[in-house]
A and B are shown apart, each in its own frame.
Chain A
Amino acid sequence: MTGRPVLSVRDLRVSIGSRPIVRGISFDVDAGETVGVVGESGSGKSMTVLSATGLFRAAGAQVTGSSALLGTELVGASRRTLRAVHGDRVGFVFQDPATSLNPLLTIEQQLVEGPRTHRGLTPRAARRRALELLEAVGIREPERRLAAYPHQLSGGQKQRVMIAIAIACDPTLLVADEPTTALDVTTQAQIIDLVAATQERTGMAVVWISHDLGVIGQVADRVSVLQHGEAVEQAGVHEVFDAPRHEYTRTLLAARPVLGRDQRRPIAPDADRVLSVADLDVRFRVASPGGRHTVRAVSGVSFEVRRGETLGIVGESGSGKSTVANALTGLARVNAGRVTLRDADVLAATGARARGIRRSLAMVFQDPFSALDPRMRVEAAIAEPLVEHRLVADGAARTRRVRELLELVALPAEFAARYPHELSGGQRQRVCIARALACEPELVIFDESTASLDVSIQARVIELLIELQERLGTAYLFIGHDLAVVERMSHRIAVMRNGEIVESAPSAELYRSPRTDYTRRLIAAIPPERPA
Chain B
Amino acid sequence: MSELPSAAIDERMPRPAPGTGRGVIRLLVRTPLSAAGLAVLLALVLVAALGPVIAPYGVNATDVLGALRPPSPAHWFGTDDLGRDILSRVMLAARVSLQVAVVSVAFALVVGTAVGLISGYLGGWVDTVLMRAVDVMFAFPVLLLALAIVAILGPGLTTAMLAIGVVYTPIFARVTRASTLSVTEEPYVKASQAMGTRRSRILVRHILPNISGPIIVQTSLSLAFAILSEAALSFLGLGVQPPQPSWGRMLFDAQGFLGSAWWMSVFPGAAIFVTVLAFNLVGDGLRDALDPRHRTRMGRTARSGSRGSR
Contacts and interface: CB of A to CB of B under 8 A. Distances in A.
A375 B196 contact: no
Interface of A: 16, 18-21, 41-44, 227-229, 329-331, 354-355, 357-359, 362-363, 365-367, 370-376, 384-385, 388-389, 417-419, 421-424, 432, 435
Contacts of B196: 330, 354-355, 357-359, 385, 388-389
A419 B296 contact: yes
Closest 7 CB pairs of A and B: A358-B196, A42-B8, A329-B194, A419-B292, A422-B14, A375-B209, A370-B187
Interface in B1-28: 3-17
Contacts of B193: 329-331
A388 B195 contact: yes
Given A42-B7, A422-B15, A373 B296 contact: no
A358 B193 CA distance: 9
Contact of B195 (A41, A385, A419): A385
B291 interface: yes
Contacts of A385: 195-197
B11 A363 contact: no
Given A330-B194, A355-B196, 7 more contacts: A21-B6, A357-B196, A366-B187, A370-B188, A371-B191, A373-B210, A374-B293
B198 interface: yes
B190 A331 contact: yes
B287 interface: no
Size category, B interface: 35 or more
B188 A421 contact: no
Interface in B169-194: 186-188, 190-194
B9 A228 contact: yes
B132 interface: no
Contacts of B209: 373, 375
B292 A375 contact: yes
A70 B15 CA distance: 45
B201 interface: yes
Contact of B292 (A16, A329, A358, A374): A374
Contacts of B10: 19
Nearest to A21: B7
Contact of A424 (B12, B198, B293): B12
A171 B292 CA distance: 46
Contacts of B198: 388
B8 A229 contact: yes
Interface string B284-310: 000000011100100000000000000
Contacts of B16: 417-419, 422
A314 B296 CA distance: 39
A354 B205 CA distance: 22
Given A362-B195, A371-B191, A19 B6 contact: yes
Nearest to A389: B196
Q: Most chain-B Cβ atoms within 10 A of its Cβ — which of A228, A355, A357, A373? A: A373
B30 interface: no
A91 to B, nearest CB: 28
10 contacts: A329-B194, A365-B191, A370-B186, A373-B188, A374-B292, A376-B205, A384-B192, A423-B14, A424-B14, A432-B191
B210 A375 contact: yes
A183 to B, nearest CB: 22
Contacts of B296: 419, 421-422
Interface of B: 3-17, 186-188, 190-198, 201, 205-206, 209-210, 291-293, 296
Given A19-B10, A358-B196, A388-B196, A421 B292 contact: yes
A21 B14 CA distance: 16
B280 to A, nearest CB: 23
A371 B194 contact: no
B234 to A, nearest CB: 40
Q: Most chain-A Cβ atoms within 10 A of its Cβ — which of B17, B187, B192, B196? A: B196
A227 B8 CA distance: 9
Contacts of A389: 196
Contacts of B205: 373, 376, 384
A229 B6 contact: yes
B188 A424 contact: no
Contacts of A375: 209-210, 291-292
Nearest to A417: B16
Nearest to A364: B191
Given A330-B194, A363-B194, A388-B195, A422 B188 contact: no
Contact of A373 (B3, B14, B206): B206
A427 to B, nearest CB: 9
Nearest to B201: A388
Nearest to A41: B11
B299 to A, nearest CB: 11
Nearest to B290: A375
A18 B300 CA distance: 14
B8 A358 contact: no
Nearest to A42: B8
A42 B11 contact: yes
B194 A384 contact: no
A171 to B, nearest CB: 30
B275 to A, nearest CB: 30
B272 to A, nearest CB: 34
Contacts of A417: 16
Nearest to A368: B187
A44 B194 CA distance: 37
A363 B15 CA distance: 29
Contacts of A16: 7
Nearest to A424: B12
Contacts of A20: 5-6
Nearest to B194: A329
A419 B17 CA distance: 8
B147 to A, nearest CB: 41
B154 to A, nearest CB: 44
A355 B198 CA distance: 9
A421 B14 contact: yes
Nearest to A415: B16
B42 to A, nearest CB: 27
Nearest to A445: B194
Contact of A371 (B5, B187, B201): B187
A405 B190 CA distance: 22
Nearest to B193: A331
A384 B195 contact: yes
Contacts of A419: 16-17, 292-293, 296
Nearest to A228: B8
Contacts of A21: 6-7
B184 to A, nearest CB: 12
Contact of A19 (B3, B190, B206, B210): B3
Contacts of B12: 42, 424
A44 B293 CA distance: 23
B186 to A, nearest CB: 6
Given A373-B206, A418-B16, A423-B14, A19 B7 contact: yes
A484 B138 CA distance: 56
Contacts of A227: 8
Contacts of B206: 373, 376
A365 B187 contact: yes
A384 to B, nearest CB: 7
B277 to A, nearest CB: 27
Contacts of A43: 8
A362 B195 CA distance: 6
Nearest to B297: A421
Nearest to A441: B195
A357 B196 CA distance: 9
A357 B4 CA distance: 46
